[in-house]
Structure 1
């Protein structure tokens, strides 16, 4: 597959912490945005129900 092309000098963001929020809890997400700032999320898109959304 070749060599890794990552170059530390091109990095513009550093992750300093992370947390797992409770599932389906909009208030927890709202509080995290208010106290921490921007939020990155991921979702499991593998179930058929999501693939046919």
Structure 2
């Protein structure tokens, strides 16, 4: 018997599953805490645009 594990990235904002290569895990800090969220490429870009350096 064999087992196959499939890992899907799910956008934490809207619950969609981006196509392979179209999503990313974003790590950011806010108020001395580190967060990590999975986002589609478009949501990741919006987050980067909203958070200035």
Give the TM-score range, shorter chain: under 0.3
Question: Which structure shows the higher strand fraction?
Answer: 2
Question: Which structure shows the higher helix fraction?
Answer: 1
Q: TM-score, normalised by structure 2?
A: 0.28
